Amino acid sequence: MNVYTFLKLFGCLALLMYGMKVMSEGLQKLAGGQLRHVMGAMTRNRFTGLLTGTFITAAVQSSTATTVLTVSFVNAGMLTLAQAISVIMGANIGTTVTAWIMAVFGFQLNMSSFVWPMFLVGILLLFQKKASGKSVGEFLFGFSFMFLALCTLRENARDMDLANNSAVVNFFQSFNPDSIWTTLLFLLIGGLLTMCVQSSAAIMAITMLLCSAGVMPIYQGIALVMGENIGTTVTSNVAALSATTQARRAAFTHLLFNLFGVIWVLCIFKPFINLVCSLVGFDPMYKPVGEADIAHNSIMVNYALCAFHTCFNVCNVLILIWFIKPLEKLVCRIIKGKEDEEETLRLKFISAGMLSTAELSLLEAQKEINHFATRAQRMFRFIPELLEMTNEEEFTKLFARTEKYEGISDNMEIEIANYLNKVSEGRLSKESKLKLQSMLREISEIESICDSCYNMARHIDHKFRSKEDFTPEQYEHIRHMFSLCDKSMDQMLAILEDTTHKVDPLQSLNIENEINNYRSLLKEANIVDINAQKYDYQMGVHYMDIIGDCEKLGDYVINVVEAHTQVKLTV
């Protein structure tokens, strides 16, 4: 064994990880918004949530994609913590499919003769104009790379002749297979390696390679598999660091779930492994004799590893599926919520980071824009409260809160824009590129709505600090204008959240025309009232400044509706 052999080994692992990544991304692009639809529609109870997590993970070949997507759903309030727990349980079962694919196709069958034709088909599809064709080509490329890596890894193992390599054999023989400390050590190694490479599939491939070569006992290999289950939870926990409390709880539940499984399996370690091995017809104590026997044994040991991986997660689910509520309470006690989280949170949907495909990330961004618009309306509703307040302490407190929302809105615009710019670097269809441009306009106009709200708050503050006050008629007019603006924003949110295109954008135009006409009417009446000395000129200025900003807010709302629907509304 030389340095080149080790470099070749690590190169195979790198190619395997890359192939898994490309294959998963291709599948996710093919699935597109269906992933969101399936997860939203099929998580009504613990059992459908379990099936959803299993199905999505098996389909896209990535438990990481499922868990990160689940965290983003919890982050956005679209899934409860209890629903997310069941999805994560299902993801743990779905991820075992990858190991079976590697065991059956990668280590048993010779896929090298099929790889090259798949590369050819993949490259032809990649040059297609249709996004779906490109996604299929990407999937085939990833699939081919993965099996090319497995075939090369298997050939490399033969060249290394691990079974007769004294250094490798002596290393594993130096550990007492009956010691619990040996099991814990390999469990720790499996967890650390998976954390470092962020790919349980790569570590699983190495485990299969060593066990099938006969240099690592099945018990130590299974300890590595258990460690992989813990190490793979790091991704979702890292993704949730900047997310909401509920999202952090969902990610932490993933870790607790696997830790619980490891603990109970350790209590019955050898009996459980022997039972699982017997299911696939593998005897851990059997010593093969002859080349044919050794070859058969190397196949069966991989089946035993896969069977353990599946049984471990299935049994864990069968135990914990009945204790989702207690598990939810435990996680809530460990990770406590912040009282002022709503006031400090900037992003809800995209705070967990970019998803692995641009199309899915675009869906996340649209939900974030909808949340931005909701926050803008919440900020606007502070303004009528400010207008009616007479207590200086309460007024100052609410005005400061409005000012804080204005700062948050500025940051949200920048962060969403930066996120969209990153999304634009990925591969998007022509329609998605146009949608992205519209979304950039949407966030700019929503931020302008927040600016108008803050300007209204400042005008009310100037009035509050002066010795004069509005007349009852002025208050009535301002309240009516506020009511029209709130109605306009309600309509805007309905359009932003409408996925079936049933909400007519012309309704927004009608409200905007009503706002414009009312502003013109008040502007003319204001001049008459000042001449009639119903109030002084300065109060008339404050009054019309508020009315004018309401009219501007209505314009910005129309701009958002136009950008989202891509329908020109003539005002």
d(CA 163, CA 145): 27
Look up residue 93 and give its amino acid: I
Angle at which helices 180-197 and 245-267 cross, to 10° = 150
N-terminal to C-terminal alpha carbon distance within the chain: 78
Tens digit of pLDDT for each residue in 320-357? 888 888 888 888 888 876 544 555 555 666 754 555 56
Instruction: Tell me: pLDDT of 549 over 90.
Output: yes
Cβ atoms of 95 and 200 within 8 Å: the answer is: yes
**One-character DSSP codes across 493-509:** HHHHH-SS--S-THHHH
Percent residues over pLDDT 90 in the chain:
19
Residue 58 tokens read as 């098996």
Higher pLDDT, 398 or 170: 398
| CA 98 to centroid of chain Cα atoms | 21
Q: How confident is the model at residue 2 (pLDDT cuts 50, 70, 90)?
A: low
d(CA 125, CA 182): 49
Residue 490 neighbours by CB under 8 Å, 6+ apart: 377
Q: Which domains does the chain have, with CATH numbers?
A: 3-163+179-334 (no CATH), 357-565 (1.20.58.220)
Instruction: Tell me: pLDDT of 419 over 70.
Output: yes
d(CA 114, CA 17): 20
Tens digit of pLDDT for each residue in 177-195? 778 888 888 889 888 888 7
Question: Which has the minimum average pLDDT: 72-81, 370-379, 466-475?
Answer: 72-81
Cβ atoms of 49 and 91 within 8 Å: the answer is: no
For residue 25, give Cα distances in angstroms to 19, 138, 139: 10, 8, 7
